[in-house]
Amino acid sequence: MAHRPLVFSGVQPTGNLHLGNYLGAIMRWVALQERYDCIYCVVDLHAITVWQEPQELVKSTREVAAALIAVGIDPRKNIIFNQSQVPQHAELAWVFNCIARMGWLNRMTQFKEKAGKDRENASVGLFAYPTLMAADILVYRATHVPVGEDQKQHLELSRDIAQKFNNDYAESIAGNGHGTEYFPLPEPLIEGSATRVMSLRDGTKKMSKSDPSEYSRINLTDDADTIAQKLRKAKTDPEPLPSAVEGLKGRPEAENLVDIYAALSGSTKEAVLREHGGAQFSAFKPALADLAVSRLSPIAGEMRRLLADPAEIDRVLADGTARAAAMAEQTMDDVRDIVGLLRKR
């Protein structure tokens, strides 16, 4: 059965959004709204899988919603809301907890990284994180999921869950008039020159909110001086930039800066090296800083404007919630029939 194309993606409200979130995901979400119906979710229930200060969480949820609007996602044309407002996500996640196998979740590298050495002390929520993610996507029966490279394994798991649900309940799915397959197998959209933006301090580590060094990342709200300073201090090697892509081999920091430049300018690594090949970093870094400031400072300005009126952000989220909940409840009605849970009366 062909499923109607629908895009879903999510972002956690855990502190500042950074250049990796922007280039790897959110910037690309803007373009997708021209071609697809899109649902973008601030995933606060995922955030609390590790400790969050309550006041900070509320603040970050509004900030991330503001960032989505500020980058150019139109909340009238798309759905923007926060996850905890639509309880069907958690409800479907429970059903998926009963579909997914312990062995599948045990293989998740993000859990291993986040739990660290003390796995016994990690929350059950952190372990079950990927089943909630599958529920986020599949409660809308979404078909396309634009994310950065680091979410690839979670999306494969979402596909496995959808497939196992379709297989386990095949008879009931057919019996309830849903054909041979109830859930689509969602496709990851991992595209562009910056699907994995690396730390500015270490080109082998991904840029991340949890890195203790502020100099490892550029935040969407950093001012021009901070952006220039962070790029000036970014780790590089002593060689000039090569003229061809092969010359970036074994030079992760150089490659990262070229990738960032390419993604920010909407071009390719090849084109960036044609223009800047042979340049020293002392010349390339200020050019990159100018480009980054020209792209990011209008977003930061728009975020400040939106955050001055939190009630308006709450209205946008409430409107998105109402539209999302109507779709999600339809799916849950079907799922209750398929699984054999009495329907709500």
Q: Active-site residues: which are they? A: 114, 206, 209
Q: Which of 10, 184, 203, 320 binds ligand TYM (CB under 6 A)?
A: 10
Kindly identify the residues of this chain, within the stretch 46-75, that bind ligand TYM according to CB under 6 A.
46
DSSP bridge pairs for 187: 144
Exactly one of 147, 248, 258, 327 binds ligand TYM (CB under 6 A); which one? 147
User: Is there binding between residue 206 and ligand TYM (CB under 6 A)?
Assistant: yes
Q: Does 231 bind ligand TYM (CB under 6 A)?
A: no
Alpha helical stretches, state H, the chain = 19-21, 27-32, 44-47, 54-70, 88-97, 102-106, 109-115, 124-138, 152-168, 170-175, 224-232, 252-265, 269-276, 281-307, 310-339
Residue 256 as a binder of ligand TYM (CB under 6 A): the answer is: no
Which listed range, 91-99, 131-139, 168-176, 261-269, lies at the site for ligand TYM (CB under 6 A)?
131-139
Residue with the two structure tokens 């019996």: 175
Among 71, 145, 273, 316, binds ligand TYM (CB under 6 A): 145
- Smallest gap from Cβ 11 to ligand TYM, in A, equals 4
3-state secondary structure of 57: helix
Nearer to ligand TYM, 28 or 276 (CB): 28
CB atoms near residue 309 (< 10 Å) = 11
Q: Closest by alpha carbon to 92, among 136, 54, 55? A: 136
Nearer to ligand TYM by Cβ, of 39 and 173: the residue is 39
Q: Convert 317-332 to b/e letters by CB count within 10 Å (16 or more is b).
A: beebbeebbebbbebb
- Give, as ranges, the residues between 30 and 49 that touch ligand TYM (CB under 6 A): 43, 46
Q: How far is the CB of 199 from ligand TYM (least distance, A)?
A: 8
Minimum distance between the CB of residue 208 and ligand TYM, rounded to whole angstroms?
6
Backbone angles phi, psi at 198, to 5 degrees: -100, 165
Figure out which of the listed residues 11, 73, 161, 335 binds ligand TYM, where binding follows CB under 6 A: 11
Region near ligand TYM per CB under 6 A, out of 17-25, 49-57, 300-308, 316-324? 17-25
Alpha-carbon distance of 312 to 273, in angstroms, equals 44
Mention every residue, 6+ apart, whose C-beta is less than 8 A from residue 81: 39, 41, 42, 317, 320, 321, 323, 324
Instruction: Specify burial of residue 340 (Cβ count, 10 A radius: 0-12, 13-18, 19+).
Output: exposed
Stretch touching ligand TYM by CB under 6 A, among 148-156, 260-268, 285-293, 318-326: 148-156
Binding site residues, ligand TYM, CB under 6 A: 8-12, 20-21, 24-25, 43, 46, 133, 136-137, 145, 147-148, 150-151, 195-197, 206-207
